[in-house]
Chains A and B, each alone.
Chain A
Amino acid sequence: MTNHDCTIFFLPGLGFGAASATPFAAALGDRFRVIGIDLPGHGSAPDVVNGSVNALASAALTTIAAEADGGPWLLAAHSMGGKIAALVSARVLGGHEAVFGLAGAVLLAPSPPSPEPMEDDKRDLMLSWADNGPLSEVDACEFVAQNVAASLVTTAEQDAITQVRQMSPLAWRRWLNEGSREDISAAVGVIDLPVVVMAGEEDDNLGASVQPQLLGTVYPRARFVSLAATGHLLPYERPHEVAAEITTFWDETASASPQVSPEWGRVIASHRTGVEARALLVRRGIADDANYMPRALSPEQLATLRALADRLMPQPETHRIDLAARIDADLASGRGDGWRPSELPDDTSAYRLGLDAIVSVWTDGAALQDALIRRIIAGEFVTGAPWSGDVFRRWFEDVRNDLTRTWLAHPASLARIGYDGFATSGVGAEPAGYVSLGAGVRDPWEPTDLGALLSDTANRTGENHGGDDPGTPTATGQAGKETTA
């Protein structure tokens, strides 16, 4: 149904509407579906009940949920929109929103979750511009001029000024008095998401030099990009660089995880899926950190586990899960499965010892590696192993099981094998469970690859899967029961 790789929801900066996405959207081309959002009081959007960041985020999420197609999407955000994007991300990652597919964020000179650094006289001056209604042409010109490193080309400048003048003075005052000063750090927390932060070197308050300290702890995976000879209005000053960065970010970072089809994404996003279940799937669906630093294992042990994972749970060259990193994170968190073979030490110690033994006999070449794996599984003693062949086999069974479960818990894996039971946990589903239980059939809300609708198979329910066997009246009875369910 879609022919784009990814949707980009753009949250503009103070004064600007959805139209401020136009320059970089044009530069991006057809691979990306760009949806600019008029935040409350901006563009054509009316003001909302209050000026809190939460109210702005709610408005943004309403549009995102309405426009989402179930496929992957990025948040792009400029300045004020960046602060809103932080809360949007937190709410999406928490499973609270009826969306799925958030893959990363591209933040342009973003306002941080903490109170935005701004001098009082600057704030007072900006507030004074809205004393008597919408900003005047002169004040809007001044606002744009203050925020660029060099004059924009005439068409861009005029477009920017038009948008600034279009905004509601209430929204302007609210942001300066409330939204920008609000501290939403606690609500946002730490956002474990691929993020790139772009900022200009000539931006007074939210420039490249301050962004790492403002956002480093909020977005531990953030990459910071510094733009020379650039002020604050990146969407107008640097649309081509923004587009290039988005493309690179998507290709090399945000799209690295196995992709969930839009149809399955919509089931996860739907009210049939509970908040917690959705949060888990949203988070597991996000690309792993290519720079992941192990917390339980050494870097060499992690590398060994990755090499093992490639043989034990093979994945394609692209769109992969870093199974080893996810297991390391589980080990570091102390999560276990409630038991272990009695001859083995605790899970983390066993992993360290076992992986050290494997690396000493690991060789290049899949055939040799597989031969080693077969020997371990057969319980043959491995040279240098800390345990007998049988104990080593049992440890290795734990490793195989951990890799398998980690792979399978990813939403793309669950979709691949045909499991949609996560969508039986929502408060809105009635019934919460299944109506069609027979072979080859599915309920209307289920993805189409899971079978035919009972209504489409009405003529064959009496004869499906051998249900006409004379010795099985109960099976036939069940088929009839389903038809009437």
Chain B
Amino acid sequence: MNLTDMRTYAQEDVVDVVVVGTGAGGAPLLARLAERGLRVVALEAGPNFDPDSFSNDEVEAPRINWMSERLSGGGAPTAFGPNNSGWGVGGGTLHWGAFTPRPDIRDLHLFTEFGVGADWPVDHAELTRYIVDVERTIGVSGPTSYPWDPEREYLEPPVDRNAAADIMAIGCARLGIQTTDAPAAILSRDRDQPHHGRRRASQNLGTVHQGERYGTKATTAITYLPSAVAAGAEIRPESMVHGIERDVLGRISAVVYRQNGQERRQRCATLVLAGGGIETPRLLLNTGLANSSGLVGRNFLAHGAVQVWGRFDEQIRGYRGYPSALISEDLVRPDGVDFAGGYLLQSLGAMPLAYATSLVRGAGLWGTELIDALDAWRYGAGIGINGECLPAENNKLVLADEVDEWGIPRAVVTFTPGPNEQAIDEHATATMARILTAAGALETRIISRTAHTLGTCRMSADPGDGVVDGDGRSHDIPNLWISDNSTFPSALSANPCLTQMALSLRTADRMMR
């Protein structure tokens, strides 16, 4: 994005707010604070990309992903890298799938409903008002009549369905499962974005995860961040924060970061951490701050993201078009089950290398069986889920002995699905196989996956039960806030990014109270 004429601040200035991270957690808040006249600086570890430099080649595309190694353990080690970690001005929104279901009210009250997991100290109606705000700002396409929320309105018509979406619609219809066009932050019509410029309507590119060059997919780099800069925010790319300084009262007084090989320090009155579910707890553990609860890095949540693929007679080639053009929320609370929560269904197209990795890691294939499965890829239509995940004692992030290129201990993330996650997984797998079979699949194949990195600095009403309060403010340090998906108390069946942007605006408003 264009940063050439932005306002700049001196390091010795005590700016009102420093925001660490420019993705879905940092950017909306940055824009809102700047628009209200605050002197704000955002520090982004990655570079400021020209969208023309995005590559749709899957080997090279991870230039927009956090590729500094993370260590994964447990029964279902989280695959980082291209899967779920952003890098650059825009953060994770550079690579996100732009799938934007709204959170279901029942998911915010999981503990109340089931006696497990955690309730969100957030009012659903208030959150929804912020979500509507976000949807208008970034441009979200969706169906005018949304089956599970008839009053909902999408200002942009849905994007085109691809063959994988057609298949899922057919199979679901035959089983009596409701489906509709997926809400997506993908423009179906051209749009002039304030302070950015022309954004083009969808051209049915399937490479949304590799970085999108036409402004069709909403990223913070073409929405909130240009607004923030226009309102006087400064964004410093290639600035990796590794230290936090406090005054004699224990309040945050400055952040220390490395930019172009130089140690720098920015004084600030308030600090917002928005580095995501891995980098925020890593920084806090490394500095030892805000952890009186002992919960920094604890309760790591990963969405269940199992997929089932069916093979059909005709070429599906789901790499064409928006990959997840169909949704069903019918399974958010399935009947006759004994697990807590539920899951969303989405149709799936996949890029070739991502699919191949799934076949290797998620389906265990090798040799001629693998080659045969790759040869059949073009005939495959997939369905995937985003499933609830309960917090668990042993799913956590800790620091390794080994340090990264900035001298910061690497993150070690341990994740093992518990009985609830396994039950959701099994239910979803059976449901998706039935849908595909009903649609005429010749055979089906299960691919195990998880997605997203949540929960490692969760919010709580009780200071002993979380790292931040329901507004995002640290229970321990009054001028420290967290605005990213590390604060999620439970995973929700909705994909996190839209909710995160809404929470970001909400935290900004709370900060100005």
Residues of A whose CB lies within 8 Å of any CB of B are 274, 276-277, 280, 311-314, 336-343, 346, 370, 373, 377, 394, 397, 400-401, 404-405, 408-409, 413-414, 416-419, 421-422, 424-425, 431-440, 450-451, 464-467, 469, 471-472, 474-475, 478-479, 481-482, 485
Contact = CB atoms under 8 A, between A and B. Distances in A.
| Pairs of residues from A and B, 6 with the lowest C-beta to C-beta distance, nearest first | A338-B81, A471-B173, A433-B203, A440-B314, A418-B378, A339-B80
B352 interface: yes
A409 B59 contact: yes
A370 B366 CA distance: 10
Contact of B71 (A340, A435, A485): A340
Given A339-B81, A417-B352, A425 B321 contact: no
Interface in B127-163: 160-163
Counting chain A CB atoms within 10 Å of each CB, which of B174, B202, B374 scores highest?
B374
Given A314-B371, A478-B161, A341 B312 contact: no
A394 B74 CA distance: 11
A339 B205 contact: no
Contacts of A422: 56-57
B144 to A, nearest CB: 13
Contacts of A438: 162-163, 166
B69 A340 contact: yes
A338 B66 contact: yes
Interface string B37-58: 0000000000000000001111
Contacts of B81: 336-339
Contact of B77 (A341, A424, A440): A341
Given A419-B352, A437-B320, A312 B366 contact: yes
Contacts of A481: 160
A37 B66 CA distance: 48
25 contacts: A280-B60, A313-B367, A337-B67, A337-B82, A339-B70, A342-B414, A343-B73, A404-B360, A408-B356, A409-B353, A417-B352, A417-B375, A419-B352, A424-B56, A424-B203, A424-B207, A425-B55, A433-B203, A436-B320, A439-B314, A467-B166, A474-B161, A475-B166, A478-B160, A485-B160
B60 A341 contact: no
Given A400-B360, A408-B374, 5 more contacts: A339-B80, A346-B69, A417-B352, A437-B321, A475-B166
A434 B204 contact: yes
Contacts of A469: 170, 173-174
A439 B367 contact: no
Nearest to A343: B73
A425 B56 contact: yes
B293 to A, nearest CB: 24
Contacts of A474: 161, 169, 179-181
Interface of B: 55-60, 62, 65-73, 77-82, 85, 160-163, 165-167, 169-170, 173-174, 179-181, 202-207, 214, 312, 314-317, 319-321, 351-353, 356-357, 359-361, 364, 366-368, 370-371, 374-375, 377-378, 400, 412, 414, 439-440
Contact of A400 (B78, B316, B366): B366
B98 to A, nearest CB: 15
B78 to A, nearest CB: 7
Given A338-B69, A466-B440, A474-B181, A397 B360 contact: yes
B404 to A, nearest CB: 12
Find the residue from B73, B78, B160, B181 having the highest chain A CB count within 10 A: B160
Contacts of A472: 166, 169-170, 173
Contacts of B374: 408, 413, 417
Contacts of A440: 314-315
B353 A405 contact: yes
B70 A465 contact: no
A475 B325 CA distance: 12
A311 B80 CA distance: 27
Contacts of B79: 337, 339
Contacts of B82: 337-338
Contacts of B321: 433-434, 437
A460 to B, nearest CB: 11
A416 B375 contact: yes
Contacts of A339: 69-72, 77-81
Contact of A313 (B165, B181, B370): B370
B371 A313 contact: yes
Nearest to B67: A338
A401 B357 contact: yes
Nearest to A482: B160
A474 B173 CA distance: 10
Contacts of B68: 338
B447 to A, nearest CB: 13
A437 B204 contact: yes
Contacts of A314: 367-368, 371
B280 to A, nearest CB: 18
